[in-house]
A and B are shown apart, each in its own frame.
Chain A
Amino acid sequence: MRRVIAASAATAALSLPLVLSTPASAADDASVVVVHGVPGLTVDVYGSADDSYSADEALLQDFEPGTVTDPVSLPGGTYNLAVFPAGGDPSGDPAIEATGVEVPAGANISVVAHLNADGDPVLTPFVNDVDPVAAGEARIVVRHTAAAPAVDILAGGEPVFTGLTNPNEDSADLPTGSVSAAVALAGTTDPVIGPADLDLAEGTSTIVYAYGSAEDDTLALAVQTIGGLHSSPSGVPSGTADLPADRTPFALTAIAVIALAAAGATGLRAKRTRA
């Protein structure tokens, strides 16, 4: 846990409070969510522009395993991030650190503190797919962030994502609804996590993290939801036949014509009778 893990500068990631006072352009800001998937460790999260972290750079305090933050809007840029045990001295060695990481403007990113396949704590940034889903559909994303071998993700007992390894993801757009999801070791259907009911709401992306450690028997699921990905229906096909025509004008015209003819005929008759 004390080991310092540095994420490569090429990877996208997180955040610091320093630069946040005046966001340049809100539209270009990145949206960042932090996910805590390291069991048994309540932490403080610090962000900094340099290699040292101070108390006023605390981004999150008492961040508990199995929780996610609300989205934080950050200007694009390069950030350092460090995770310390809750109440720990930020001038010491962080439990986990990610340095020189890029947060691209406009990106939607989840930074996950989790265990790698070998059980060491790491920070992994995932760039979230926020493309719209088709009307009536929902997106499900599954991320393997647990100290465990390859797994299959089961929906309703059937494997839908197979051979997923740490720290990778898979996704699909599905019809809206509730699914019973479980995680099994690859090639098996005996759940090691779950089953748990997931409510896949229309126009949202439901991101499911398998985290924890198989060895320590702390495997669990964490769920993050991104909304506003809906599309509109393509149209409103509200009629397959013409309305029966309104016959009023025809009836009135017919009456007028007949009455005119009658008036003419009777008028002529009257003239003739008079003569």
Chain B
Amino acid sequence: MTAPPGARRWGVASVASLAVAVGALLALALWVAGRPGETSGDGAAGLQGATPTTSAPTPAATPSVRATARPAAPGASRRPVTPAPVRLRVPDLDVDATVRPVGVQDDGAMVIPAAPTSVGWYRYGAAPSDPVGHTVIAGHVATREDGPGALAPLTEAEEGMRVEVTDADGTVHRYVVEGRTLIRKKALPVDDVFARDGPPRLVLVTCGGEYLPELRSHRDNVVVTAVPVS
């Protein structure tokens, strides 16, 4: 049973095309499977774990309260200055951003640096070298002007990834991602995110979820919590 040579050639071409189609479909399946989930690890618990513990005011140390007095001249008690973070790296996600100290906008929201390579550190909260509280660093996921921002890859952060924050004095603080969670912006637990008490944590925030063009805003915040490692 011999087919004409032309038929064999067309047959081979057909099988090859079929193989390409199957390969493409397999790749599509892998892509779907490889997409990051909505959350990773226990991001929400990471935030709550650091909820400012309503610590009872410590009663005076001794039964007979003896107060200590301090000089009250202006400038007598200068606050110790903790160095500001200047660089954020998440090697697994190719995140390498310049960190700038930021405050709040007129509407009370945190300032986010406009430059796509910069991210903002909430300077009124904790710094990496502070013994308690959250170091909050936030950046645009994308802007109309510049496209994807430095923290766009944050939506793919997974539990266990390493994070490094470098201080102005050169100290490198190392963290491990504890979790990633997607929270409706309207329901963002700001007192948990910006906690100034409780165990030290690094909290990275960007935007995610559905994009709402009429608001020029995303529906959600992506919140990644990381714990310090020595």
Q: A-side interface residues toward B, CB under 8 Å?
A: 15, 17, 20-21, 23, 26-27, 29, 31, 34-36, 56, 58-61, 63-64, 66-70, 72-74, 134-136, 176, 181, 194, 196-199, 201-203, 208-209, 220-225, 230, 232-244, 248-249, 252-253, 255-257, 259-260, 262-267, 269-271, 273-274
Contacts and interface: CB of A to CB of B under 8 A. Distances in A.
B156 to A, nearest CB: 11
B79 to A, nearest CB: 6
27 contacts: A17-B63, A20-B65, A31-B57, A34-B69, A73-B58, A136-B108, A198-B75, A199-B78, A232-B190, A233-B104, A236-B112, A237-B105, A237-B217, A240-B216, A243-B152, A243-B211, A248-B31, A252-B24, A256-B25, A259-B18, A260-B21, A264-B14, A266-B11, A270-B7, A270-B8, A270-B9, A270-B10
B108 A234 contact: yes
Given A26-B57, A199-B75, A70 B68 contact: yes
B75 A60 contact: no
Size category of the B interface is 35 or more
B72 interface: yes
B169 interface: no
Contact of A235 (B10, B28, B109): B109
Contacts of B121: none
B205 to A, nearest CB: 5
Contacts, number: 257
B139 interface: yes
Given A69-B69, A249-B31, 6 more contacts: A73-B65, A236-B206, A239-B211, A241-B147, A259-B20, A263-B15
Contacts of B58: 26, 73
Contacts of B148: 243-244
Interface of B: 3-4, 6-11, 13-18, 20-21, 24-25, 27-28, 31-32, 56-60, 63-79, 103-105, 107-110, 112, 122, 124, 138-144, 147-149, 151-152, 185, 188, 190-191, 193-194, 196, 205-208, 211, 213, 216-218, 221
A67 B69 CA distance: 6
Given A63-B69, A70-B70, A239 B149 contact: yes
B70 A17 contact: no
A225 B71 CA distance: 12
B59 to A, nearest CB: 5
Q: Which of B24, B70, B138 is the most central at the interface, judged by chain A CB atoms within 10 Å of its CB?
A: B24
A242 B142 contact: yes
B108 A29 contact: no
Closest 4 interchain pairs by CB? Answer: A239-B207, A270-B10, A263-B17, A259-B21
B188 A236 contact: yes
Contact of B108 (A135, A199, A230): A135
A217 B141 CA distance: 61
Contact of A20 (B64, B69, B194): B64
Nearest to B112: A238
A239 B4 contact: no
Given A72-B65, A256-B21, A27 B56 contact: yes
A67 to B, nearest CB: 4
B64 A196 contact: no
B124 A136 contact: yes
Contacts of A232: 190-191, 193-194
B71 A66 contact: yes
A256 B59 contact: no
Contact of B124 (A21, A176, A244): A176
A221 B76 CA distance: 11
B226 to A, nearest CB: 16
Contacts of A31: 57
B104 A239 contact: no
A136 B103 contact: yes
Contact of A60 (B31, B69, B139): B69
Contact of A26 (B31, B59, B194): B59
